[in-house]
């Protein structure tokens, strides 16, 4: 109701229309390009999940240090060497980075992403990172989240 969309009694919401309206509110007119750094199991799952779901928010590149992954396509998206982060991010005008790298690599990768021009960072590593105030950071530590759920289950 806050965004001006209502459903119908007993039928609920038209999900497609609702997604489109939310997209109109939060999406940029030109769209925003996203990259995933670390194309292991979690990186592939995220890339697969987002493929084709949002027309104005697109994963356009994935990166990894594993040379056997570089040059391959994951859900139609080319994998680049992490050594080429800055070049590819600038070339593809990527503004959001998703990190799914090992925790010990997170601070260095975050630093390189910011240097490359990333303005939003989603950190899926267990290691917190620091970014300048002009970069939006969202950190999601799955282990801590699972521990919170386990604590709740244990105490209830």
Claim to verify: residue 147 and residue 108 sit in the same structural domain: yes
Q: Are residues 46 and 80 in the same domain?
A: yes
Give residue 2's pLDDT band: very low, low, confident or very high (50, 70, 90): very low
**40 shares a domain with 22:** no
What integer pLDDT is reported at residue 5 of this predicted model? Answer: 46
Is 145 found in the same domain as 68? yes
What's the number of domains the chain is made of?
2
Query: Looking at residue 108, which CATH number applies to its domain?
Result: 3.40.50.720
Same domain, 107 and 70: yes
Q: Residue 54: its pLDDT value, please?
A: 63
Cβ 106 vs Cβ 121: under 8 Å: no
The pLDDT assigned to 153 comes to 93
| One domain, residues 38 and 107 | yes
Average pLDDT, the chain: 86
Mapped onto helix, strand or coil, the DSSP state of residue 29 is: coil
Same-domain status, 19 and 39 = no
Q: Report the pLDDT value the prediction gives residue 57, as an integer from 0 to 100.
A: 83
**Residues 24 and 81 reside in one and the same domain:** no
Domain limits for position 11: 1-29
92 and 67 within one domain: yes
Q: Are residues 129 and 55 in the same domain?
A: yes
**What pLDDT does 19 receive?**
57
Phi, psi of 27 (to 5 degrees): -80, 150
Report the predicted TM-score, pTM, of the whole model to 2 decimal places.
Answer: 0.79
> pLDDT tens digit string along 11-61?
666 666 655 655 555 555 578 999 999 999 999 999 998 877 666 789 999
83-118 pLDDT, tens digit per residue, is: 999 999 999 999 999 999 999 999 999 999 999 999
How many residues does the structure list for the chain?
156
- Let me know whether 18 and 80 are in one domain: no
The Cα–Cα gap between 103 and 7 comes to 43
Residues whose CB is less than 8 angstroms from the CB of residue 26 and which lie 6 or more positions away in sequence, other chains included = none
């Amino acid at each position: 109701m806050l965004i001006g969309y209502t459903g119908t009694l007993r039928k609920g919401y038209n999900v497609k229309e609702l997604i489109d309206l939310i997209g109109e509110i939060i999406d940029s007119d030109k769209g925003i390009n996203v990259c995933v750094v670390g194309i292991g199991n979690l990186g592939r799952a995220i890339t697969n999940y987002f493929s084709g779901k949002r027309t104005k928010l697109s994963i356009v590149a994935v990166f990894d240090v594993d040379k056997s992954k570089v040059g391959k396509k994951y859900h139609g998206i080319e994998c680049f060497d992490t050594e080429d982060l800055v070049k590819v991010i600038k070339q593809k005008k990527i503004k959001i980075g998703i990190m799914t790298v090992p925790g010990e690599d997170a601070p260095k990768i975050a630093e390189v992403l910011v240097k490359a021009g990333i303005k939003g960072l989603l950190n899926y590593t267990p290691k917190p990172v620091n970014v300048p105030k002009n970069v939006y950071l969202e950190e999601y530590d799955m282990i801590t989240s699972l521990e919170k759920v386990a604590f709740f289950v244990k105490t209830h």
